[in-house]
Structure 1
Amino acid sequence: MVKFYLGKQRHIQEMKKPKQTLITKLFGVLCGLIALFHLGSAGANQVIHVAVASNFLSTLKQLKSEFEQAYNKEILVSSGSTGKLFAQISHGAPYDIFLSADDVRPQQLQSLGLTHQNKAFTYAYGKLVVFHPNMTSSQFSVGELTNKDVEHIAIANPKLAPYGLAAKNWLLDKGIWPAISRKIVMGENINQAMQYVKSGNAQIAIVALSMVQQEPISGFTELDANDYQPIRQQGVLLTNKPIAEEFVDFLSSKAAQSIIDQHGYGIP
């Protein structure tokens, strides 16, 4: 009876061994998955996704390069009209920072409870220019906009783009909007408005100074800043990532502000 019992006990122990091995393997796989998750999370914390208004895209590209070299971290960029990006964020787009071309949408996002720290920051002041490649600055005057040879004038859609709204308001203040409204062609953003002129579909565009400074263009006239409402470009944090806060701090550094100034913006 004793021998039988011992044999049965040994048999039971042997039966348990495969189960213990399977459990050990499963535990090892689980630990591996957890490790991969943490590595992925750590990697994700080294990357931020910035949504930026079209006018500031080329400036952000240079800022991105400077930041990535200095901090050894990565910035992903999505660009579009301020209104379009605002709509995406309102519907849950996973951006970490929103760099708007106005001060309205960031504050609207705050009121919707979609921001972190609930504090918008001004990173630049925009400047308006009239782009007129077929004439020099000395030849241009406001009256040229009503000239019959100017068939189309391009601006960004005022409902989507703050620069488009500023352009329309400037034309209204000058009292010529009723006379030229039929000439107006609207792009989704100022990049598209600029392209209308480059492609010959419009003769003049009212866009951002930063747009004409990106390439060797001489046919433009900078408008007096007193003739239109200040274009205060604000940004807002959308998540609590430390790297996002680091990038916001970087925007106020001397190095970053020098880049912003060189690209045709006023410094806060």
Structure 2
Amino acid sequence: MVRFYLGKVFLLNPMQKLKQRYTGKLVRVLCGVLFLFYLHSAAANQVIHVAVASNFLSTLKQLKSEFERTHNSKVLISAASTGKLYAQISHGAPFDIFLSADDVRPQQLEALGFSKQHKAFTYAYGKLVVFHPSIESTQFSFSQLANNRVEHIAIANPKLAPYGVAAKNWLLGKGIWQAVSDKIVMGENINQAMQFVKSGNAQVAIVALSMMKEEPISAFSELLTTDYQPIRQQGILLSNNKNTAQFAAFLFTEPAQTIIQQNGYILP
């Protein structure tokens, strides 16, 4: 057999021809084996897509690590304000579980038929703090929110975020909402409210206790739970596969409950 390459002649003997033929077959067989292995791995490691309210994001990352260590599933996280995630789910976003920061949206989704076989479940109760890094906690008092030293108070938008609703209700309950309403700056979620303070665009923020793990204890003051409505955080299963149900059940195991409590939540 003769092949021409750029004017030069190369001769292929029968052994070379045989080698090429079997090499091609071997490559095809290996590709088939790798494809079957990929399909097996994909089936064994199902992806669970969790939509989570911003306040619970850092906690969920810890729960994800523990869950993936003991289960053949991967957890994919999408975080935003509760209101934004609710809108996405209502318009068909393909989430498997929704971990809300309130009990309103999961029950609305249940009523709308987004979860036909599962009821909304309470996985945690959240707490509020005033984050004031420029004011030592020993020198901070809630009356300072109304004085001239505090020019801007950051909260999450009550229209989108349950922690924003709770922050506004706390200010109303303390009788200082009218006095501070002109100072309020709103973030889309509590992460953005925190960022307003860290960037110097606000002096204080009313956010979740769960966000204070990396902050010095002198930088925040916890609010009494008797001064605002409990922040009941509920979840709902949006798909009916076994892996999704396993993750929901995992949230109520001892390791998961320990993680949730250590992050500043009250257990249901």
Q: Provide the rounded CA distance (Å) in 2 between the counterparts of 1:51 and 1:154.
A: 24
Query: What is the aligned-residue identity percentage?
Result: 72
| Residue 105 of structure 2 is aligned to residue 74 of structure 1 | no
Structure 1 residues 135 and 93, CA gap change in structure 2 (3 angstroms): same
Flag structure 2 segments of 5+ consecutive residues without an equivalent: 1-31
* Cα displacement (A) at 1:127: 0.2
Once the two structures are TM-superposed, the CA of residue 219 in structure 1 deviates from its matched residue by 1.2
Q: Which residue of 1 aligns with 2:28?
A: none
Q: Deviation digits for residues 13-37 of structure 1, max 9, x if unmatched?
A: xxxxxxxxxxxxxxxxxxx8xx97x
What's the offset of the Cα at 1:134? 1.5
The answer to whether structure 1 residue 115 and structure 2 residue 115 are counterparts is yes
Q: Displacement of 1:104 after TM fit?
A: 0.3
Tell me, in whole angstroms, the C-alpha distance in 2 between the residues paired with 1:97 and 1:247: 9
In 2: Cα distance, 1:164 partner to 1:217 partner: 22
Q: TM-score, normalised by structure 1?
A: 0.84
Counterpart Cα distance in 2 of 1:63 and 1:264: 14
Give the equivalent residue in structure 2 for 1:18: none
Unpaired runs of at least 5, structure 1? 1-31
Q: Which amino acid aligns with 2:141?
A: S
C-alpha contact 1:45 1:241 (8 A) present in aligned 2: no
1:126 and 1:208 in contact (8 A); partners too? yes
Q: 1:40 to 1:79 in 2, by over 3 A?
A: farther
1:214 shift after superposition: 3.5
Residue 165 of structure 1: how far off its partner (Å) = 0.4
- Using the TM superposition, give the Cα deviation of residue 47 of structure 1 relative to its aligned residue in structure 2, in angstroms: 1.1
1:160 aligns with 160
Aligned residue number for residue 219 of structure 2? 219
Aligned-pair distance for 1:149? 1.5
Number of the residue aligned with 2:248: 248
Write the distance in 2 (CA, Å) between the matches of 1:162 and 1:127.
11
Q: Say yes or no: does 1:202 pair with 2:202.
A: yes
Query: How far apart, in 1, do the equivalents of 2:173 and 2:53 lie?
Result: 25
Of the two, which has the highest radius of gyration?
Answer: 1
Distance 1:116 1:242, change over 3 A: farther
CA distance in structure 1 between the aligned counterparts of 2:124 and 2:151, rounded to whole angstroms = 33
Check whether the contact 2:44–2:73 (CA below 8 A) recurs between aligned residues. Answer: no
The alpha-carbon distance between structure 1 residues 125 and 181, as it changes in their structure 2 partners (threshold 3 A), is same
Does the 8 Å contact 2:153/2:205 carry over to 1? yes
Q: Tell me the distance in 1 between the aligned counterparts of 2:215 and 2:72.
A: 29
1:136-155 alignment runs, 5 A limit: 136-155=136-155
Give the length in aligned residue pairs.
234
The alignment's C-alpha RMSD in Å is: 1.8
